């Protein structure tokens, strides 16, 4: 697999996981879907009363990617105190899946940008797998949507990036950091994830895809082909995917229902979610995490470059104070520096650095300078960065043939 020039294609990155709530549906349709799933319940043995029951229909979509379909017979509303209250309602569905994995089998490349178009493709897939007719997705309620961007870096550069941002902090959130592979920032309105796609693909998707692709190739094996033909074909395709994933740093922003409801003033429908809105939220959340802008000012992060930038913008005295403040952030982190300065001073100086295009992440104060260092000094996982993946992947014809949708519904 290889990439083709940007001027020949449209950018492929965008949507990943979505969670949708359907309009109320006829009970016979929901019952038919429920019959294809699995139910879990808690029952009082002495009375036979069912305390609660959950039914999930986990489908195997295209390339055996799991799609969660949850039949619901109760709906939730908020009481005057703000607490959720469940009540009996007309039946409806909750659908959750990775759009990219459901359609393409992987999310290394080939992600869809258009929200309504992507959801329509998922609806068509569900109708084919479930054997029912579902309402148009334009009026489905959005409860979660993830926007993702990939950035092309050498394998070692991705490792160096995570080495250099161990002091990153997010206001009023607890960070979860995993070695030199990922950062996870959970929250009630949004969740931010930065991770190395290569190890994640190796762990979560490669084995699953190998079995599915080998089965597909085996069913379409030419007459006289060697016994290992299907196995070799599947291995070659996965090797190509792994090679792409190894050179990808992935940034995701997950928008929760609370965020969507607040921004729109109501529970938004699929037709209301635009690409521009999702990109704006992505930019804002990444900026809040990394304190680096969208690209209006070139970011500097080495000691000499920071000193020159500050000297050019401020008086000699203030530039010296800010450079010392930057050194503290780069070596000790925000949490430590907050304890050493008054609140107004800390936030004023931090804002002056941010407005000047100065970063204290992945600096030469953190990474040991060595011959062959791979991480570019100007890299930042923002959409304006030139290393953002903007090209479609060109597949070798032998890898991309398809003979009908894989109908693997359980």
Q: What is the pLDDT of residues 179-230, one digit of tens each?
A: 778 889 899 999 999 999 999 999 988 888 898 888 888 888 888 888 899 9
pLDDT at residue 393 above 70? Answer: no
Residue 362 or residue 60, greater confidence: 362
For residues 157 and 199, membership in a common domain is answered with: yes
Alpha carbons 109 and 150: distance in angstroms, whole number: 8
Q: What is the structure's pLDDT at 41? A: 65
Whole-Å CA distances, 300 to 1, 305, 341, 360:
34, 6, 24, 9
Per-residue pLDDT averaged across 380-404, rounded?
65
Residue 386 or residue 365, greater confidence: 386
Alpha carbons 301 and 287: distance in angstroms, whole number: 16
For residues 311 and 223, membership in a common domain is answered with: no
Assign 230 to helix, strand or coil. Answer: helix
**pLDDT more than 90, % of the chain:** 38
Distance of alpha carbon 85 from its chain centroid, rounded?
30
Range of the domain at 324: 303-355
Q: Widest CA span of the chain, in angstroms? A: 81
For residues 253 and 321, membership in a common domain is answered with: no
Q: How many residues can be counted in the chain? A: 410
For residues 104 and 134, membership in a common domain is answered with: yes
* Strand intervals (E) in 266-344: none
pLDDT confidence of 394, banded at 50, 70, 90?
low
Q: Is residue 370 part of a domain?
A: no
**Residue position matching structure tokens 């762990």:** 203
For residues 290 and 316, membership in a common domain is answered with: no
Q: What is the structure's pLDDT at 66? A: 74
| Vertex 257 angle, CA 252 and 258, to 5° | 105
Q: What is the structure's pLDDT at 358? A: 85
* Strand intervals (E) in 265-362: none
Q: What is the structure's pLDDT at 400? A: 41
Pairing state between β 141-152 and 66-78: unpaired
Alpha carbons 177 and 192: distance in angstroms, whole number: 12
For residues 276 and 317, membership in a common domain is answered with: no
* Strand intervals (E) in 5-114: 15-21, 38-43, 50-60, 66-78, 84-98
Q: Is residue 328 part of a domain?
A: yes
For residues 73 and 115, membership in a common domain is answered with: yes
Structural domain total, the chain:
2
Residue 127 CB neighbours (<10 A): 12
pLDDT at residue 345 above 90? Answer: yes
For residues 347 and 205, membership in a common domain is answered with: no
For residues 40 and 157, membership in a common domain is answered with: yes
Structure-derived torsion over alpha carbons of residues 289, 290, 295, 301, reported in degrees to the nearest 10: 170
Q: Is residue 34 part of a domain?
A: yes
pLDDT at residue 372 above 80? Answer: no
Q: Is residue 376 part of a domain?
A: no
Q: Tell me the pTM.
A: 0.76
**pLDDT more than 70, % of the chain:** 80
Lowest mean pLDDT: which of 7-21, 153-167, 180-194, 231-245?
7-21
Angle between helices 206-219 and 197-204 (to 10 degrees): 60
For residues 275 and 344, membership in a common domain is answered with: no
For residues 17 and 165, membership in a common domain is answered with: yes
Per-residue pLDDT averaged across 45-63, rounded?
60
pLDDT at residue 295 above 60? Answer: no
Alpha carbons 59 and 134: distance in angstroms, whole number: 15
pLDDT at residue 371 above 50? Answer: no
Q: What is the structure's pLDDT at 140? A: 97
Q: What is the structure's pLDDT at 146? A: 96
pLDDT at residue 30 above 70? Answer: yes
pLDDT confidence of 403, banded at 50, 70, 90?
very low
pLDDT at residue 332 above 50? Answer: yes
Angle between helices 343-355 and 316-332 (to 10 degrees): 100
Buried b (16+ CB within 10 A) or exposed e, 18-54: bbbbbeebeeebbeebbebbeeeeeeeeeeeeeeeee
Distance of alpha carbon 43 from its chain centroid, rounded?
38
Per-residue pLDDT averaged across 35-62, rounded?
64
Q: What is the structure's pLDDT at 51? A: 57
pLDDT confidence of 48, banded at 50, 70, 90?
low
Q: Is residue 371 part of a domain?
A: no
State the first-to-last Cα distance of the chain, in angstroms, to the nearest integer.
32
pLDDT confidence of 262, banded at 50, 70, 90?
very high
Q: Is residue 27 part of a domain?
A: yes
Q: What is the structure's pLDDT at 274? A: 94
**Please, which residues have CB within 8 angstroms of residue 35's CB and are 6 or more apart in sequence?**
none
Handedness of CA 402, 404, 405, 410 (dihedral sign): negative
For residues 251 and 322, membership in a common domain is answered with: no
Instruction: Report the chain's mean pLDDT, rounded to a whole number.
Output: 81
Taking each continuous run of H as one helix and of E as one strand, the counts in the chain are 14, 12
Residue 165 or residue 255, greater confidence: 255
Q: Is residue 374 part of a domain?
A: no
120-128: long-range pairs with CB below 8 Å, 24+ = 122/18, 122/67, 122/95, 122/97, 125/61, 125/62, 125/67, 125/405, 126/59, 126/67, 126/69, 126/95, 128/405, 128/407
Q: What is the structure's pLDDT at 40? A: 61
Q: Is residue 406 part of a domain?
A: no
Whole-Å CA distances, 385 to 15, 299, 405:
19, 10, 37
Residue 27 or residue 51, greater confidence: 27
């Amino acid at each position: 697999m290889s990439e083709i020039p940007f001027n020949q294609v449209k950018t492929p990155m965008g949507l990943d996981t979505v969670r949708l709530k359907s309009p109320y549906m006829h009970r016979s349709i929901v019952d038919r879907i429920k019959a294809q799933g699995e139910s879990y319940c808690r029952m009082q043995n002495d009375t036979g009363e069912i305390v609660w029951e959950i039914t999930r229909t986990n489908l195997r979509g295209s390339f055996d990617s799991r799609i969660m379909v949850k039949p619901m017979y109760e709906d939730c509303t908020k009481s005057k105190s703000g607490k959720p209250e469940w009540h009996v309602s007309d039946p409806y569905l909750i659908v959750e899946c990775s759009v990219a994995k459901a359609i393409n089998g992987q999310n290394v490349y080939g992600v869809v940008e258009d929200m309504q178009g992507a959801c329509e493709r998922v609806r068509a897939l569900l109708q084919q797998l479930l054997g029912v007719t579902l309402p148009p997705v334009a009026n489905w309620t959005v409860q979660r949507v993830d926007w993702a961007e990939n950035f092309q870096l050498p394998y070692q550069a991705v490792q160096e990036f995570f080495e250099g941002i161990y002091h990153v902090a997010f206001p009023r959130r607890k960070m979860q950091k995993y070695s030199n592979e990922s950062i996870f920032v959970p929250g009630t309105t949004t969740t931010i994830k930065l991770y190395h796609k290569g190890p994640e693909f190796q762990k979560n998707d490669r084995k699953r895809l190998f079995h599915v692709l080998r089965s597909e190739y085996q069913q379409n094996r030419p007459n006289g082909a060697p016994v290992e033909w299907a196995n070799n074909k599947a291995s070659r395709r996965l090797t190509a995917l792994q090679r792409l994933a190894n050179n990808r740093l992935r940034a995701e922003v997950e928008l929760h229902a609370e965020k969507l409801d607040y921004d729109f003033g109501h529970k938004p429908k699929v037709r209301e979610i635009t690409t521009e809105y999702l990109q704006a939220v992505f930019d804002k959340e990444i900026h809040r995490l990394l304190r680096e802008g969208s690209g209006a000012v070139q970011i500097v992060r080495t000691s000499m470059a920071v000193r020159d930038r500050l000297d050019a913008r401020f008086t000699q005295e203030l530039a010296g104070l800010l450079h010392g403040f930057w050194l503290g952030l780069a070596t000790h982190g925000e949490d430590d520096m907050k304890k050493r300065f008054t609140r107004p001073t800390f936030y004023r100086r931090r804002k002056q650095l941010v407005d000047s295009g100065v970063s204290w992440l992945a600096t030469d104060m953190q990474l040991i300078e060595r011959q062959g260092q791979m991480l570019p000094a100007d890299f930042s996982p923002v959409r304006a960065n030139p290393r953002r993946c903007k090209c479609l992947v060109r597949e070798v014809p032998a890898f991309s043939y398809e003979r009908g949708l894989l109908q693997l519904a359980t």
